[in-house]
Amino acid sequence: MEKLYIGVDLGGTSVKVGIVKKNGEILKKLSNPTNLPQPEEVIEDKICKLCLEICDECGIDIHKDIEAIGIGSPGNVNNKTGVIGFSSNFGYNDWHLKEKIEAKLGVKVEVENDANAAIIAEVNAGCAKGCPNAVILTLGTGVGSGVIINGKIYGGYNKSGAEMGHMVISVGGRECNCGRKGCFEKYASASALVYDTKVAMLGHPKSLLWKICPDINEVTSKTVFDAMEQGDKIAQKVFDSYIEYLACGITNIVNIFQPEILCLGGGISNQKDVLLKPLQEYLDREDYARGLNKRVKIKIADFRNDAGIIGAALVGVNNAR
Amino acid sequence: MEKLYIGVDLGGTSVKVGIVKKNGEILKKLSNPTNLPQPEEVIEDKICKLCLEICDECGIDIHKDIEAIGIGSPGNVNNKTGVIGFSSNFGYNDWHLKEKIEAKLGVKVEVENDANAAIIAEVNAGCAKGCPNAVILTLGTGVGSGVIINGKIYGGYNKSGAEMGHMVISVGGRECNCGRKGCFEKYASASALVYDTKVAMLGHPKSLLWKICPDINEVTSKTVFDAMEQGDKIAQKVFDSYIEYLACGITNIVNIFQPEILCLGGGISNQKDVLLKPLQEYLDREDYARGLNKRVKIKIADFRNDAGIIGAALVGVNNAR
């Protein structure tokens, strides 16, 4: 039987697992709410239970048929030791995740930062397939980022690099959890867009935004796009401001990395051309290399919701080669 | 006889050449004002004349004794083809510098971006010797930057990356030559410090700054350090604000690259601990990896004025190996 992989997407909201083939195809998915805060052991048990359950449901023997389990986690991950140095979302420090899960399941485990897992998915089987030099930004609760240089994940000296969400783009600006002020993710994450939408709604009681979402607590990043599509000027203003910040940070990253492909992931990237068009216009004005023929391509990530599962599984595939 | 190299530092103010040994030691230097603007040919002739002159003065046969000539230039440099894609300082586009100088002198020529040359000098023979993962920032007219990843210069897909000077840190801020607003170099270059010093002098006619430099047109970055040393509060304020911006951009770069060593070059770096101490304090507060044992080291570059010559020469050494 073809060897299979389990990908685990360890998120603040839910733990998702999937059985994944070598080519990135998902055979089956399961998930369970994370219910943070939780002691480390509870999360470890949740991961193990889900892995055993999904194998059971697929009639798979976890020891015979599963080559490796890949886990994508937010925070500072040492992909050699499988230790999570720190994760502000989970509140853990020095979490020996690889060791713990291997001991409990008896299967080889690989751990990688979640945004790194997402770019691994894209360069192995997605929009940046075969590309030796690529960057991903995932626009979610924060702005996650992963960088591939010469075909390998770039983590810097201490495996903690590529934290582009914590690049200040507005000195003295919005306070960030990381301790800085004005971080990119405080303006360009999905959470930031939701925040800005709510502020606009409170200031404009007649905006169409209220018709689309009468309960302000239910606002999502989609709310603003829906209102904009129906011609709401307030929504358009929120979006235009959001794009200015997003494009500013992306242009910084382009000027720094000049990757062949820069992919955008996370829920907001479902908006595709609504995002890509103004971003490209901004880059055409401000990219330092705009005079060259070889320009960075901005693409929407192929694996949006499943990037974590596929990428985490493919970390296992990569390392098993 | 031991093979020698010529390093050429092509600057906006002067063209400097030096005879350099394999270990980075300079045997002899010469320079000549650049006198921009000039047609390309005038600069090419100036380079050739200086190379021949310096060999003549040292009793060296350029064809027999010189292994290669390395040229460090500002702007977008393709180090494979030796073509300068564009250089805003010189105003040239698609300048086939390697080809032209090789044709004129009959010696192998290597061309590299000037900040890249500076980091090559540091990792080969300076403060980052043997370090596979290092970054340099040169604080001069602008902020130049060079990145070494796995022992090699990082240029990205189109050899135009690592332009950290053109990372916006203050959205909508000061206008930059590159077309953006709020670029790092508009706040952290030596020119920016001089500009801020002049503004402070005009606002404070009684500041000690005027005693140190009665002619405002003669202000240099040293002016503010001299006044500060003598207890001038206005100078201290200018410096404190400068450091906030410099540290902000450096922390961005640390969060992105987490290099083993980040070196500071350019005239301002002569201030050593006056710079390093507040920078380190800022990093200890804001570096995303401040909780880890492995932390980035900030160092003053060893080769300040001569980094361009030595680095350019060592590009030749590196490629001749």
The distance of A85 to chain B (nearest Cα, Å) reads 7
Confidence at residue A316, expressed as pLDDT on a 0 to 100 scale = 67
The C-alpha torsion from A165 through A169 and A172 to A177, rounded to 10°, is -10
* Average pLDDT of the segment spanning A112-131: 93
A176 in B contact zone (CB under 8 Å): no
Q: Is A235 exposed, middle or buried (0-12, 13-18, 19+ CB in 10 A)?
A: buried
3-state SS, residue A61: coil
* Pairwise CB contact (< 8 Å): B166 & A291: no
The C-alpha angle with vertex B237 and arms to B234 and B242, in degrees rounded to 5, equals 130
* Pairwise CB contact (< 8 Å): A285 & B164: no
> In whole angstroms, what is the distance from residue B262 CA to residue A60 CA?
50
DSSP letter (8 states) at residue A165:
G
* Pairwise CB contact (< 8 Å): B168 & A258: no
Q: How confident is the model at residue B155 (pLDDT cuts 50, 70, 90)?
A: very high
A1 in B contact zone (CB under 8 Å): no
> In whole angstroms, what is the distance from residue B67 CA to residue B56 CA?
16
The distance of A74 to chain B (nearest Cα, Å) reads 13
Confidence at residue A321, expressed as pLDDT on a 0 to 100 scale = 40
Contact A308, A9 (CB under 8 A): yes
Confidence at residue A168, expressed as pLDDT on a 0 to 100 scale = 98
Q: How confident is the model at residue B319 (pLDDT cuts 50, 70, 90)?
A: low
Contact B276, B300 (CB under 8 A): yes
State which residue of chain B sits closest to A144, comparing Cα positions: B256
A178 in B contact zone (CB under 8 Å): yes
- Kindly tell me if the per-residue pLDDT of A318 is higher than 70: no
Which of A160, A245, A259 lies closest to B289 in CB terms? Answer: A160
A78 in B contact zone (CB under 8 Å): no
Tally A–B CB contacts below 8 A. Answer: 134
Number of C-beta neighbours around residue A165 at 10 A:
25
B75 in A contact zone (CB under 8 Å): no
Q: How confident is the model at residue A69 (pLDDT cuts 50, 70, 90)?
A: very high
Return the higher-pLDDT residue of A8 and A304.
A8
Tokens of B23: 């270990």
DSSP letter (8 states) at residue B24:
S
A76 in B contact zone (CB under 8 Å): yes
Nearest to A78 by CA among B287, B284, B294, B251: B294
Sign of CA dihedral A33, A39, A41, A44: positive
DSSP letter (8 states) at residue A180:
-
- pLDDT tens across B12-40, in order? 889 999 999 988 999 999 999 998 889 99
- pLDDT tens across A33-59, in order? 998 888 999 999 999 999 999 999 999
- Residue bearing tokens 């000061």: B174
Which of B166, B251, B260 lies closest to A157 in CB terms? Answer: B260
B169 in A contact zone (CB under 8 Å): yes
B260 in A contact zone (CB under 8 Å): yes
Residues 6+ apart with CB under 8 A from A229: none
3-state SS, residue B263: strand
Contact B98, B109 (CB under 8 A): yes
Residue B152 pairs in a beta bridge with: B149
* Average pLDDT of the segment spanning B68-77: 91
- Residue bearing tokens 């720094």: A256
- Kindly tell me if the per-residue pLDDT of B148 is higher than 80: yes
Alpha carbon B239 to chain centroid distance? Answer: 21
> In whole angstroms, what is the distance from residue B19 CA to residue B6 CA?
5
3-state SS, residue B285: helix
Q: Is B290 exposed, middle or buried (0-12, 13-18, 19+ CB in 10 A)?
A: middle
DSSP letter (8 states) at residue A267:
G
- Between the alpha carbon of residue A30 and those of residues A22, A306, B147, the distances in Å are 19, 12, 42
Q: Which residues of chain A lie closer than 8 angstroms to B76, CB-CB? A: 288-289, 292
Average pLDDT over all residues of chain B = 93
- pLDDT tens across B195-218, in order? 999 999 999 999 999 999 999 999
Best residue of B113, B168, B242 to probe chain A, by most A CBs closer than 10 Å: B168
- pLDDT tens across A241-299, in order? 999 999 999 999 999 999 999 999 988 999 999 999 999 999 999 999 998 889 999 99
**Amino acid, res. B114:** D
- Kindly tell me if the per-residue pLDDT of A143 is higher than 80: yes
Q: How confident is the model at residue A74 (pLDDT cuts 50, 70, 90)?
A: confident
B163 in A contact zone (CB under 8 Å): yes
Q: Which residues of chain B lie closer than 8 angstroms to A157, CB-CB? A: 133, 258-260, 294, 296
* Pairwise CB contact (< 8 Å): A258 & B296: no
> In whole angstroms, what is the distance from residue A69 CA to residue A50 CA?
12
Q: How confident is the model at residue B229 (pLDDT cuts 50, 70, 90)?
A: very high
B246 in A contact zone (CB under 8 Å): no
Q: How confident is the model at residue A81 (pLDDT cuts 50, 70, 90)?
A: very high
Tokens of A151: 């075909």
Q: Which residues of chain B lie closer than 8 angstroms to A259, CB-CB? A: 156-157
* Pairwise CB contact (< 8 Å): A256 & B258: no
B180 in A contact zone (CB under 8 Å): yes
Sign of CA dihedral A95, A101, A103, A109: negative
- Kindly tell me if the per-residue pLDDT of B93 is higher than 90: no
Percent of chain B residues past pLDDT 90, beyond the cut? 82
State which residue of chain B sits closest to A176, comparing Cα positions: B286
> In whole angstroms, what is the distance from residue B193 CA to residue A270 CA?
44
Confidence at residue A278, expressed as pLDDT on a 0 to 100 scale = 97
Percent of chain A residues past pLDDT 70, beyond the cut? 98
* Pairwise CB contact (< 8 Å): A257 & B156: yes
Best residue of A80, A262, A288 to probe chain B, by most B CBs closer than 10 Å: A288
Residues 6+ apart with CB under 8 A from A174: A181, A182, A183, A186, A187
- Between the alpha carbon of residue A43 and those of residues A37, A90, A118, B18, the distances in Å are 10, 10, 21, 62
- Between the alpha carbon of residue B168 and those of residues A116, A264, B183, the distances in Å are 24, 20, 4
A244 in B contact zone (CB under 8 Å): yes
State which residue of chain B sits closest to A184, comparing Cα positions: B169
Contact A109, A159 (CB under 8 A): no
Confidence at residue A75, expressed as pLDDT on a 0 to 100 scale = 83
Chain B, residues 268-297, CB within 8 A of chain A, namely 285-286, 288-289, 291-292, 294-296
B256 in A contact zone (CB under 8 Å): yes
- Between the alpha carbon of residue A143 and those of residues A123, A249, B123, the distances in Å are 19, 11, 33
Q: How confident is the model at residue B301 (pLDDT cuts 50, 70, 90)?
A: very high
- Kindly tell me if the per-residue pLDDT of A313 is higher than 60: yes
* Average pLDDT of the segment spanning A229-237: 97
The radius of gyration of chain B from alpha carbons, rounded to an integer in Å, stands at: 20
Q: Which residues of chain A lie closer than 8 angstroms to B93, CB-CB? A: 291
State which residue of chain B sits closest to A131, comparing Cα positions: B157
> In whole angstroms, what is the distance from residue A135 CA to residue A159 CA?
16
The C-alpha angle with vertex B312 and arms to B309 and B314, in degrees rounded to 5, equals 105
Question: Alpha helices of A154-306 — where are they, by DSSP H?
Answer: 185-188, 190-203, 209-212, 221-229, 233-257, 273-286
Confidence at residue B320, expressed as pLDDT on a 0 to 100 scale = 46
Strand order of the β-sheet with A76-78 is A76-78, A83-87, A92-95
